[in-house]
Amino acid sequence: MAEETTGKVKSGKTFDSAYGFSFSIAAGLVLFIAGLVISLTLGEGTSIGLIFGIPLLVAGLVIPLFMMRDLFRTKEIKEPCPNCGATIRTSDATLQLRCESCQQVINVREGKLFPAE
Ligand SMILES: [Zn+2]
């Protein structure tokens, strides 16, 4: 039988991710527009606008990607089962799971495994 998990995602984490997501999009957009304005207004006939504008354009595209990569990276947990000692692999996005070896329901809290009541 396949691994049976009662995988619930923390509601607080979803809110933080949504907030960080829109913030990184907004920051990227501001940089991108600033870069676009600078390269269009100062760029006429000179390379000054391109020198300042292009890095801003690139930053506007790259920074949100970096921030988002950080947001969606979940910490992997590899801990022994508190009931039977079998190694359990899960992520910190999991709230509760069932041990494959002993079928005990395990709660996941701050990277540690606790037997459910
Ligand atoms: Zn177990």
Mean pLDDT, rounded, of the chain: 80
pLDDT digits (tens, 9 = 90+) for 95-110: 999 999 999 999 998 8
pLDDT digits (tens, 9 = 90+) for 38-54: 888 876 667 777 787 78
Please tell me the distance between residue 78's alpha carbon and the centre of ligand 1 in angstroms.
13
Please tell me the distance between residue 101's alpha carbon and the centre of ligand 1 in angstroms.
5
Please tell me the distance between residue 14's alpha carbon and the centre of ligand 1 in angstroms.
29
Judge whether 94 and 108 are in contact, CB under 8 Å.
yes
Dihedral angle sign, alpha carbons of residues 66, 78, 95, 101: positive
- Does the pTM of the predicted model rise above 0.75? no
Please tell me the distance between residue 10's alpha carbon and the centre of ligand 1 in angstroms.
23
pLDDT of residue 89: 93
